[in-house]
Structure 1
């Protein structure tokens, strides 16, 4: 499943955006810090993110988005642009997101910026690139599965229905 590969390719940025250490992220899904670090190194020949890990990670991220929507706007955008729907964005839009997010997210982990402030800063920059109405609209669309009575997100439906039966 291509989403799993894209998620693994962007896992470090995703984790930093939430402000979790590798140990904290691992604890949330029941794996060690070393497992998270190995998966983030993108050496898929040796360490490949499996479907179970992907579902666990996306579930804890969805829970965090639902719990703190104002602090996780940029996380929703990163997941949409880099994992779920990269084909809907231009290369320069993705490049801008990566530049802005990679510049800001280490400060979240270091504790020198709050998630909310960092998220707002990246979203403002992306609003100029994508158009403010688009970003606001995208946030509503991305968040809607979480707001609709806890229904499963599109990513989960894709993940559980795309496997081959063994």
Structure 2
């Protein structure tokens, strides 16, 4: 499965983690709410331009609010960029917990920072953070995903 397919598979989780509605996310990347909904539902396939736009706005948001979005960095690392480095059982445990708590961000009943702190504790408890490579180096991470996307002739 490619990074495009993985991002599309986990797009709803990513969007909830950031706390954006489909309309807000669409506005940030220049597409409609319906396009985001169709991508999340699998009715449309994520294309290279959309992938680059999404990753770019996510990178900017993580750079602007690093303490609020540590969890997003972890989700991108484990589920999108390098899933092969992590144990399936541990990934499933993190995913289950994330799917339970991230809707509360959108609902406004908790903050991104609170959820991120809780999820980082869960990740540490199941050993995912110790295995994670430089999650907290946004410039290097941006360069890596962008270079791979631009120069991969298969996409």
| TM-score bin (small chain) | over 0.9
Could you list the runs of 5+ residues in structure 1 that have no partner in the other structure?
Answer: none
Match of 1:142 in 2: 135
Could you list the runs of 5+ residues in structure 2 that have no partner in the other structure?
Answer: none
Contact 2:78 2:86 in 1 (8 A): yes
Which of 70, 76, 100 is 2:73 aligned to?
Answer: 76
Higher-Rg member (1/2): 1
Q: Residue deviations 1:9-57, cap 9 Å, x none?
A: 00000000000000000000000000000000023xxx10000000000
Counterpart Cα distance in 2 of 1:153 and 1:129: 29
Alignment of 1:1-166 (within 5 A): 2-43=2-43, 47-130=44-127, 134=130, 138=133, 141-146=134-139, 152-164=142-154
Moved over 3 A (4+): none
Counterpart Cα distance in 2 of 1:115 and 1:145: 18
* Deviation, structure 1 residue 97: 1.1
* Deviation, structure 1 residue 164: 5.0
| Root mean square deviation of aligned Cα | 1.8
Q: Residue deviations 1:55-82, cap 9 Å, x none?
A: 0000000000000000001100100110
Aligned residues: 155
